[in-house]
Amino acid sequence: MSNVKPFRPNLPTEIGSFQPQLRREWHDELRIWWREIDKVLLLLIGLLMAMGTAAVAAASPATAARLSTAEVQLSDFYFLKAHVIWQAMGIAVMLGASMLTRDNARRFGIVLAAVMLALLFLVPLIGVEVNGARRWIRLGMQFQPSEFLKPGFAILLAWILTWRLRDPNLPVVAFVSIIMGIIALLLMMQPNLGATMLFGGVWFVLILMSGVPLKRLGAFAALAAGALAATYFFYDNARNRIDSFLSGGTAFDHVDLAERTLLAGGWTGSGLWLGIRKMNLPEAHTDYIFSVIGEEFGLIVCALVVILYMAMVLRVLLRLFDEENLFILLAGAGLITQIGGQAMINILVNLQLFPSKGMTLPLVSYGGSSTIAVCLTFGLLIAITRRNPFLERETPGLWKMARKQEDDAQ
């Protein structure tokens, strides 16, 4: 028996020799990404971006004519060409962000929020003033920190609110409320009331979904109403816009011009490049592009745009319906709330149902850094909602949360 040698498998002597067997090739990663992402959401994004290209093509001549001077004559397709370039860059950013894992998307969002919040503090000091508002900062390129703060804000708040799972005694609601208050103060200094309301809407939705008892929501609602009343009495920019909206405006108001342009095309529109009223519409390629769609493509296409946004919001909510991870649930809901809220505000302004806010239509309006920011938001949303289609989930996330809210109310 002493001559019998024990069996010893021929194992590699270095751990590194296993690495070639465990490393995934890039095409394997790509297949996993394609299998896990929400392809329906990606299709809706593509449809809206295609409609945005057509809309900017319609609005480009009007904006080029309005901004041309005796010294500089802009081509009719100047903004269309720039828009296509920005869209291509945005698509690259969106696809790159969508390939992040959930954990890396969370880390990226937190870092993004911290950096943009720091830049937001610098806007009053070194910001660039455009049309009476100091919202932009120039660091190689000119951009609004608030635009890139939006996706980071939703992810940061979702992450903080999940701290309660580790320690129920942590005042996470107070933490996120303080952050919201700081951002609101910085935005109102620019002034940027529209963005403040959008951030506030995301904050409220996340607070609502984080498990706060319904009894406490009344206090938050009263606080929001008091802040809005104080804004009206002590904030000239907001008071002027609200008064103009309530008084019905005049034929020279931007909102009134937008509504007239929107209705000029009837149900089927006047046809591409055949619109007339758009030539008098300020910011036809950005804030009021929905009205240009109405004049040149008709109210039916406007209704289709609204349906696409509604389908996008519904699709994400259905994706989150059976999500068991609280962070994914909150972050996904916050990101889609931001997109849906911005689209709703822009459309209501064009319909003269909301005071003018200077807010673009996501994926449709012309934009430089704003297009990149919106595409980044969607990229992070796709990354966060990635899931293995072969894994079954037994606990419906949104349903469970709704039942908890109902129990707390009782």
> What pLDDT, in 10s, does the model give residues 361-375?
999 999 888 899 999
Q: Which domain holds residue 264?
A: 37-387
Q: For the whole model, what pTM was predicted?
A: 0.84
pLDDT of 56: 94
Name the DSSP letter for residue 98. Answer: H
Q: Is residue 24 included in any domain, yes or no?
A: no
Q: Which residues of the chain have pLDDT under 50?
A: 1, 11-22, 250-251, 394, 409
Q: Is residue 297 included in any domain, yes or no?
A: yes
Q: Quick one: which H or E segment has residue 129?
A: strand 128-130
| Closest C-alpha among 139, 339, 124, 355 to residue 245 | 355
Counting other chains too, the contacts that 84-90 makes at CB distance below 8 Å and 24 or more residues apart are 84/53, 86/366, 86/367, 86/368, 86/371, 86/372, 87/49, 87/52, 87/53, 87/371, 89/371, 89/372, 90/371, 90/372, 90/374, 90/375, 90/376
Secondary structure (3-state) at 275: coil
pLDDT of 16: 47
For 87, list phi and psi in degrees, rounded to 5: -65, -40
Q: Is residue 399 included in any domain, yes or no?
A: no
**CA quadruple 155, 179, 176, 346: dihedral, nearest 10:** -60
Structural domain count of the chain: 1
Name the DSSP letter for residue 366. Answer: -
Q: Is residue 319 included in any domain, yes or no?
A: yes
Q: How confident is the model over 74-128, as pLDDT tens digits?
A: 888 899 999 999 999 999 999 999 999 999 999 999 999 999 999 999 988 887 8
Distance from the Cα of residue 14 to its chain's centroid: 48
Strand partners, 139: 141
Q: What are the residue ranges of helices labelled H in 189-298?
A: 193-209, 214-234, 236-246, 254-264, 289-297
pLDDT of 210: 81
Q: Is residue 299 included in any domain, yes or no?
A: yes
pLDDT of 258: 82
Count CA atoms within 13 Å of residue 93 on its CB side. Answer: 18
Q: Is residue 406 included in any domain, yes or no?
A: no
Q: Is residue 404 included in any domain, yes or no?
A: no
pLDDT of 19: 47
| Closest C-alpha among 296, 284, 238 to residue 257 | 284
Q: Quick one: which H or E segment has residue 21?
A: helix 19-22
pLDDT of 81: 93
How far CA 392 is from CA of 116, 197, 318, 323, 333, in Å, comes to: 38, 38, 15, 10, 21
